[in-house]
Structure 1
Amino acid sequence: MIQNSVVETARLTIRPFEFADAAGLVAILADPQVSRFVGDGQALSGDDAALWVTNSRANLARYGYGTGAVIERSSGQLIGWAGFARPADGPEQIIYGLMAAHWRRGFGSEIVRALVDFATSRAIDPVSATVDPSNSASVALLTKHGFRLIERGFGGEADSDLYQRTRE
Protein backbone atom coordinates (compact mmCIF):
# COMPACT_ATOMS: atom_id res chain seq x y z
CA MET A 1 0.00 0.00 0.00
CA ILE A 2 1.27 3.47 -0.85
CA GLN A 3 -0.19 6.47 0.87
CA ASN A 4 1.35 9.92 1.22
CA SER A 5 4.80 8.55 0.32
CA VAL A 6 4.49 5.80 2.93
CA VAL A 7 4.90 2.28 1.58
CA GLU A 8 3.65 -0.66 3.58
CA THR A 9 4.37 -4.34 3.05
CA ALA A 10 3.29 -7.31 5.12
CA ARG A 11 6.10 -6.76 7.64
CA LEU A 12 7.60 -3.36 6.87
CA THR A 13 6.77 0.31 6.65
CA ILE A 14 8.94 2.58 4.52
CA ARG A 15 8.25 6.12 5.63
CA PRO A 16 9.90 9.50 5.15
CA PHE A 17 12.94 10.03 7.32
CA GLU A 18 12.55 11.96 10.54
CA PHE A 19 15.51 13.93 11.86
CA ALA A 20 15.77 11.50 14.79
CA ASP A 21 16.52 8.69 12.27
CA ALA A 22 20.01 10.08 11.60
CA ALA A 23 21.38 8.43 14.76
CA GLY A 24 19.89 5.09 13.69
CA LEU A 25 21.50 5.37 10.26
CA VAL A 26 24.87 6.00 11.91
CA ALA A 27 24.41 2.88 14.06
CA ILE A 28 23.34 0.70 11.11
CA LEU A 29 26.23 1.85 8.92
CA ALA A 30 28.76 1.45 11.74
CA ASP A 31 28.61 -2.27 10.92
CA PRO A 32 31.30 -2.96 8.27
CA GLN A 33 29.15 -5.75 6.82
CA VAL A 34 26.52 -3.14 5.98
CA SER A 35 28.73 -0.19 5.03
CA ARG A 36 31.09 -2.11 2.70
CA PHE A 37 28.72 -1.72 -0.28
CA VAL A 38 27.42 1.77 0.56
CA GLY A 39 29.07 4.93 -0.73
CA ASP A 40 32.81 4.81 -0.05
CA GLY A 41 32.44 1.76 2.21
CA GLN A 42 33.10 3.74 5.38
CA ALA A 43 30.91 4.24 8.43
CA LEU A 44 28.57 7.22 8.23
CA SER A 45 29.29 10.28 10.35
CA GLY A 46 26.55 12.04 12.27
CA ASP A 47 26.84 15.07 9.99
CA ASP A 48 26.59 12.90 6.86
CA ALA A 49 23.54 11.09 8.26
CA ALA A 50 21.86 14.43 9.06
CA LEU A 51 22.60 15.63 5.51
CA TRP A 52 21.16 12.39 4.09
CA VAL A 53 17.94 12.91 6.06
CA THR A 54 17.78 16.58 5.00
CA ASN A 55 18.33 15.76 1.32
CA SER A 56 15.81 12.92 1.42
CA ARG A 57 13.19 15.20 2.95
CA ALA A 58 13.95 17.84 0.28
CA ASN A 59 13.46 15.22 -2.47
CA LEU A 60 10.16 14.23 -0.88
CA ALA A 61 9.00 17.85 -0.89
CA ARG A 62 10.17 18.46 -4.47
CA TYR A 63 9.36 15.15 -6.20
CA GLY A 64 6.89 13.45 -3.87
CA TYR A 65 9.31 10.64 -3.00
CA GLY A 66 12.87 10.02 -1.88
CA THR A 67 14.69 7.70 0.48
CA GLY A 68 13.15 6.81 3.80
CA ALA A 69 13.35 4.75 6.93
CA VAL A 70 12.55 1.04 6.85
CA ILE A 71 10.65 0.17 10.00
CA GLU A 72 9.92 -3.39 11.09
CA ARG A 73 6.22 -3.22 11.86
CA SER A 74 6.23 -5.85 14.63
CA SER A 75 8.91 -4.07 16.69
CA GLY A 76 8.64 -0.47 15.46
CA GLN A 77 12.45 -0.55 15.05
CA LEU A 78 14.39 1.27 12.34
CA ILE A 79 16.15 -1.58 10.51
CA GLY A 80 17.32 0.11 7.31
CA TRP A 81 16.64 2.54 4.51
CA ALA A 82 14.98 2.30 1.12
CA GLY A 83 13.64 4.49 -1.62
CA PHE A 84 14.80 6.50 -4.57
CA ALA A 85 18.09 8.36 -4.85
CA ARG A 86 18.54 11.13 -7.37
CA PRO A 87 22.27 11.25 -8.16
CA ALA A 88 23.32 14.30 -10.13
CA ASP A 89 25.50 12.24 -12.47
CA GLY A 90 23.11 9.45 -13.44
CA PRO A 91 19.58 8.09 -13.53
CA GLU A 92 17.26 8.11 -10.56
CA GLN A 93 17.64 4.74 -8.83
CA ILE A 94 16.34 2.58 -6.05
CA ILE A 95 18.52 2.13 -3.00
CA TYR A 96 18.06 -0.06 0.04
CA GLY A 97 19.98 -1.47 2.95
CA LEU A 98 19.25 -3.39 6.12
CA MET A 99 20.88 -4.17 9.44
CA ALA A 100 22.86 -7.39 9.06
CA ALA A 101 20.68 -9.04 11.74
CA HIS A 102 17.73 -8.72 9.32
CA TRP A 103 19.41 -10.26 6.27
CA ARG A 104 18.17 -13.55 4.78
CA ARG A 105 14.65 -13.11 6.13
CA GLY A 106 12.93 -11.97 2.93
CA PHE A 107 12.85 -8.28 3.83
CA GLY A 108 14.95 -7.37 0.77
CA SER A 109 12.38 -8.96 -1.54
CA GLU A 110 9.56 -7.09 0.20
CA ILE A 111 11.46 -3.82 -0.23
CA VAL A 112 12.35 -4.28 -3.90
CA ARG A 113 8.82 -5.43 -4.77
CA ALA A 114 7.36 -2.42 -2.95
CA LEU A 115 9.75 0.01 -4.66
CA VAL A 116 8.94 -1.43 -8.09
CA ASP A 117 5.22 -1.09 -7.33
CA PHE A 118 5.78 2.48 -6.15
CA ALA A 119 7.73 3.28 -9.34
CA THR A 120 4.90 1.87 -11.43
CA SER A 121 2.37 4.04 -9.58
CA ARG A 122 4.51 7.11 -10.34
CA ALA A 123 5.29 6.16 -13.98
CA ILE A 124 9.01 5.83 -13.23
CA ASP A 125 10.30 3.71 -16.10
CA PRO A 126 12.79 2.20 -16.27
CA VAL A 127 13.56 1.52 -12.62
CA SER A 128 17.33 1.60 -12.13
CA ALA A 129 19.75 0.42 -9.46
CA THR A 130 23.53 0.52 -9.24
CA VAL A 131 25.25 -2.35 -7.46
CA ASP A 132 28.79 -3.30 -6.59
CA PRO A 133 29.31 -6.45 -8.71
CA SER A 134 30.77 -8.26 -5.71
CA ASN A 135 27.51 -7.73 -3.78
CA SER A 136 26.11 -11.08 -4.92
CA ALA A 137 23.10 -10.92 -2.58
CA SER A 138 21.92 -7.63 -4.05
CA VAL A 139 22.60 -8.76 -7.63
CA ALA A 140 20.53 -11.92 -6.99
CA LEU A 141 17.74 -9.88 -5.39
CA LEU A 142 17.51 -7.50 -8.32
CA THR A 143 17.60 -10.22 -10.98
CA LYS A 144 14.94 -12.18 -9.06
CA HIS A 145 12.69 -9.14 -9.45
CA GLY A 146 13.23 -8.68 -13.18
CA PHE A 147 16.19 -6.30 -13.27
CA ARG A 148 18.77 -6.85 -16.02
CA LEU A 149 22.40 -5.84 -16.18
CA ILE A 150 22.65 -2.86 -18.54
CA GLU A 151 26.19 -1.57 -18.04
CA ARG A 152 29.28 -2.85 -16.23
CA GLY A 153 31.51 -0.20 -14.68
CA PHE A 154 28.67 2.32 -14.78
CA GLY A 155 29.90 5.90 -14.81
CA GLY A 156 33.48 4.70 -15.15
CA GLU A 157 33.36 3.10 -11.70
CA ALA A 158 34.63 -0.49 -11.59
CA ASP A 159 32.60 -1.10 -8.43
CA SER A 160 29.25 -0.04 -9.90
CA ASP A 161 27.09 -1.96 -12.37
CA LEU A 162 23.81 -0.52 -13.66
CA TYR A 163 20.70 -2.71 -13.53
CA GLN A 164 17.30 -1.74 -14.91
CA ARG A 165 13.78 -3.09 -14.93
CA THR A 166 11.33 -1.86 -17.51
CA ARG A 167 7.59 -1.96 -17.23
CA GLU A 168 6.12 -5.22 -18.40
Structure 2
Amino acid sequence: MSIQTARLEMRPYQDEDFEFLCSLFSDPEVVRFIGDGKTRDRDGAMQFLYWIYRSYKTDPKLGLRVLVRKKDLKLVGHAGLVPQTINGAEELEIGYWIAREHWGQGYATEAAKALKEYGSHKLGKERFVSLIQPENVGSRKVAERIGLALEEEIVLGGREVCVYSNARGKEYGISNT
Protein backbone atom coordinates (compact mmCIF):
# COMPACT_ATOMS: atom_id res chain seq x y z
CA MET A 1 0.00 0.00 0.00
CA SER A 2 1.24 3.44 -0.92
CA ILE A 3 -0.64 6.64 -0.07
CA GLN A 4 0.07 9.92 -1.85
CA THR A 5 -0.43 13.48 -0.62
CA ALA A 6 0.57 16.76 -2.24
CA ARG A 7 4.11 16.57 -0.82
CA LEU A 8 4.50 13.02 0.48
CA GLU A 9 4.46 9.41 -0.52
CA MET A 10 3.77 6.94 2.29
CA ARG A 11 5.28 3.60 1.37
CA PRO A 12 6.11 0.39 3.24
CA TYR A 13 9.43 0.17 5.06
CA GLN A 14 12.25 -1.61 3.25
CA ASP A 15 15.57 -2.90 4.58
CA GLU A 16 17.40 0.10 3.08
CA ASP A 17 15.34 2.41 5.37
CA PHE A 18 16.99 0.94 8.47
CA GLU A 19 19.54 3.75 8.93
CA PHE A 20 16.73 6.30 8.83
CA LEU A 21 14.78 4.34 11.44
CA CYS A 22 17.93 4.23 13.58
CA SER A 23 18.21 8.02 13.27
CA LEU A 24 14.64 8.42 14.58
CA PHE A 25 15.28 6.10 17.53
CA SER A 26 18.62 7.70 18.42
CA ASP A 27 17.17 11.22 18.72
CA PRO A 28 16.00 11.79 22.31
CA GLU A 29 13.64 14.58 21.23
CA VAL A 30 11.91 12.40 18.61
CA VAL A 31 11.30 9.50 21.02
CA ARG A 32 10.61 11.65 24.07
CA PHE A 33 6.87 10.93 23.84
CA ILE A 34 7.08 7.47 22.21
CA GLY A 35 6.65 4.45 24.49
CA ASP A 36 8.94 4.81 27.50
CA GLY A 37 10.58 7.90 26.00
CA LYS A 38 14.01 6.27 25.75
CA THR A 39 16.26 6.05 22.72
CA ARG A 40 17.01 2.64 21.25
CA ASP A 41 20.25 1.26 19.90
CA ARG A 42 20.57 -0.51 16.55
CA ASP A 43 19.30 -3.78 18.03
CA GLY A 44 16.24 -2.05 19.42
CA ALA A 45 15.62 -0.34 16.07
CA MET A 46 15.99 -3.71 14.30
CA GLN A 47 13.44 -5.29 16.63
CA PHE A 48 11.06 -2.43 15.83
CA LEU A 49 11.63 -2.88 12.09
CA TYR A 50 10.82 -6.59 12.44
CA TRP A 51 7.64 -5.62 14.32
CA ILE A 52 6.72 -3.35 11.38
CA TYR A 53 7.35 -6.18 8.90
CA ARG A 54 5.20 -8.58 10.98
CA SER A 55 2.39 -6.01 11.01
CA TYR A 56 2.46 -5.95 7.18
CA LYS A 57 2.05 -9.73 7.12
CA THR A 58 -0.90 -9.51 9.52
CA ASP A 59 -2.63 -6.87 7.38
CA PRO A 60 -0.81 -5.31 4.41
CA LYS A 61 -3.21 -2.34 4.43
CA LEU A 62 -2.11 -1.30 7.93
CA GLY A 63 1.15 -0.54 9.72
CA LEU A 64 3.73 2.24 9.76
CA ARG A 65 4.88 3.65 6.43
CA VAL A 66 7.93 5.74 5.61
CA LEU A 67 7.13 9.35 4.70
CA VAL A 68 9.08 10.26 1.56
CA ARG A 69 9.14 13.90 0.46
CA LYS A 70 8.32 13.79 -3.25
CA LYS A 71 10.40 16.77 -4.39
CA ASP A 72 13.75 15.24 -3.35
CA LEU A 73 12.91 11.71 -2.06
CA LYS A 74 14.12 12.67 1.43
CA LEU A 75 12.76 10.52 4.27
CA VAL A 76 11.05 12.85 6.75
CA GLY A 77 9.32 10.47 9.18
CA HIS A 78 6.82 7.67 9.35
CA ALA A 79 3.11 7.34 9.95
CA GLY A 80 0.45 4.70 9.71
CA LEU A 81 -2.74 3.06 10.83
CA VAL A 82 -1.87 0.76 13.72
CA PRO A 83 -4.28 -1.63 15.49
CA GLN A 84 -4.45 -0.99 19.25
CA THR A 85 -6.46 -2.45 22.12
CA ILE A 86 -7.85 0.27 24.38
CA ASN A 87 -9.97 -0.66 27.40
CA GLY A 88 -10.59 -4.06 25.81
CA ALA A 89 -11.81 -2.59 22.50
CA GLU A 90 -10.02 -2.94 19.17
CA GLU A 91 -9.16 0.51 17.83
CA LEU A 92 -7.31 1.87 14.81
CA GLU A 93 -4.65 4.41 15.73
CA ILE A 94 -3.40 7.15 13.45
CA GLY A 95 0.24 7.38 14.47
CA TYR A 96 3.03 9.66 13.24
CA TRP A 97 6.68 10.47 13.97
CA ILE A 98 8.58 13.18 12.16
CA ALA A 99 12.39 13.54 12.15
CA ARG A 100 13.31 16.61 14.20
CA GLU A 101 14.82 18.54 11.29
CA HIS A 102 11.41 18.41 9.60
CA TRP A 103 9.27 19.53 12.56
CA GLY A 104 6.97 22.50 12.02
CA GLN A 105 6.51 21.94 8.27
CA GLY A 106 3.07 20.33 8.42
CA TYR A 107 4.17 16.80 7.47
CA ALA A 108 2.52 15.11 10.47
CA THR A 109 -0.81 16.83 9.78
CA GLU A 110 -0.62 16.07 6.06
CA ALA A 111 0.14 12.40 6.69
CA ALA A 112 -2.44 12.00 9.48
CA LYS A 113 -5.19 13.59 7.37
CA ALA A 114 -4.36 11.29 4.44
CA LEU A 115 -4.41 8.24 6.73
CA LYS A 116 -7.80 9.20 8.13
CA GLU A 117 -9.17 9.62 4.60
CA TYR A 118 -7.60 6.32 3.47
CA GLY A 119 -9.04 4.50 6.48
CA SER A 120 -12.49 5.97 5.88
CA HIS A 121 -12.72 5.65 2.10
CA LYS A 122 -10.56 2.59 1.33
CA LEU A 123 -11.00 0.53 4.50
CA GLY A 124 -14.53 1.59 5.45
CA LYS A 125 -13.58 2.51 9.03
CA GLU A 126 -15.49 5.19 10.90
CA ARG A 127 -13.58 5.55 14.15
CA PHE A 128 -9.93 6.47 14.61
CA VAL A 129 -7.85 7.23 17.67
CA SER A 130 -4.49 8.80 18.37
CA LEU A 131 -2.69 7.90 21.59
CA ILE A 132 -0.70 10.90 22.78
CA GLN A 133 1.18 11.57 25.99
CA PRO A 134 -0.27 14.64 27.75
CA GLU A 135 2.90 16.77 27.42
CA ASN A 136 3.13 16.23 23.65
CA VAL A 137 1.47 19.50 22.66
CA GLY A 138 2.55 19.27 19.00
CA SER A 139 0.93 15.88 18.45
CA ARG A 140 -2.19 16.97 20.29
CA LYS A 141 -2.52 19.89 17.85
CA VAL A 142 -2.08 17.54 14.88
CA ALA A 143 -4.88 15.31 16.20
CA GLU A 144 -7.16 18.32 16.62
CA ARG A 145 -6.35 19.62 13.11
CA ILE A 146 -7.61 16.36 11.58
CA GLY A 147 -10.84 16.41 13.56
CA LEU A 148 -9.97 14.31 16.60
CA ALA A 149 -10.86 15.46 20.11
CA LEU A 150 -9.75 14.39 23.58
CA GLU A 151 -12.01 11.53 24.60
CA GLU A 152 -10.35 10.32 27.77
CA GLU A 153 -7.09 9.92 29.62
CA ILE A 154 -5.93 6.40 30.44
CA VAL A 155 -2.85 4.57 31.65
CA LEU A 156 -1.34 2.42 28.93
CA GLY A 157 1.92 0.54 29.39
CA GLY A 158 2.44 2.35 32.69
CA ARG A 159 2.21 5.81 31.08
CA GLU A 160 -0.55 8.39 31.07
CA VAL A 161 -2.00 8.67 27.58
CA CYS A 162 -4.60 10.97 26.07
CA VAL A 163 -6.98 9.12 23.79
CA TYR A 164 -8.00 11.40 20.95
CA SER A 165 -10.79 10.17 18.68
CA ASN A 166 -13.30 11.30 16.15
CA ALA A 167 -15.79 9.53 18.49
CA ARG A 168 -17.93 8.41 15.54
CA GLY A 169 -18.89 4.84 16.07
CA LYS A 170 -18.26 4.67 19.81
CA GLU A 171 -21.55 6.23 20.82
CA TYR A 172 -23.38 3.92 18.41
CA GLY A 173 -21.60 0.75 19.52
CA ILE A 174 -19.76 0.43 16.21
CA SER A 175 -16.32 -1.14 16.34
CA ASN A 176 -13.48 -1.14 13.83
CA THR A 177 -13.49 -4.89 13.48
Question: Does TM, normalized by the shorter one, top 0.5?
Answer: yes
The equivalent residue for 1:96 is: 96
The equivalent residue for 2:80 is: 83
Q: Match of 1:159, SS?
A: strand
Any residues of structure 2 matched to 1:47-58 within 5 Å, and which?
Answer: 47-58=43-54
Which amino acid is the alignment partner of residue 134 of structure 2?
P
Q: TM-score, normalising length from structure 2? A: 0.83
Q: TM-score, normalising length from structure 1? A: 0.87
Does the Cα contact within 8 Å between 1:23 and 1:49 map onto a contact in 2?
A: no
Gaps of 5+ in 1: none
Any residues of structure 2 matched to 1:29-48 within 5 Å, and which?
Answer: 29-48=25-44
Q: Distance in 1 between matches of 2:9 and 2:146?
A: 20
Q: Distance in 2 between matches of 1:24 and 1:94?
A: 21
Question: Pick from 63, 67, 79: which aligns with 1:66?
Answer: 63
1:113 matches 2:113: yes
Which amino acid is the alignment partner of residue 160 of structure 1?
V
Does the Cα contact within 8 Å between 2:151 and 2:167 map onto a contact in 1?
A: no
The equivalent residue for 1:27 is: 23
Gaps of 5+ in 2: 170-177
Offset from partner CA, 1:6-55 (integer Å, 9 cap, x none): 01111111100112222211112222211101111111222222222222
Which amino acid is the alignment partner of residue 11 of structure 1?
R
Q: Distance in 2 between matches of 1:29 and 1:74?
A: 25
- Over the aligned positions, Cα root-mean-square deviation in angstroms equals 2.0
**Percent identity, aligned pairs only?**
24
Shift of 1:134: 0.7
Q: Distance in 2 between matches of 1:147 and 1:58?
A: 28
Q: Distance in 2 between matches of 1:118 and 1:164?
A: 16
| 4+ long deviations beyond 4 Å | none
Q: Tell me: CA distance 1:22–1:95, structure 2 relative to 1, closer, same or farther (3 Å).
A: same
Q: Tell me: CA distance 1:160–1:51, structure 2 relative to 1, closer, same or farther (3 Å).
A: same
Offset from partner CA, 1:75-104 (integer Å, 9 cap, x none): 212221100223456633111111111111
Counting strand residues as a fraction of each chain, which structure ranks higher?
2
Q: Tell me: CA distance 1:86–1:45, structure 2 relative to 1, closer, same or farther (3 Å).
A: farther
Alignment length (residue pairs): 164
Deviation larger for 155-164 or 124-133: 155-164
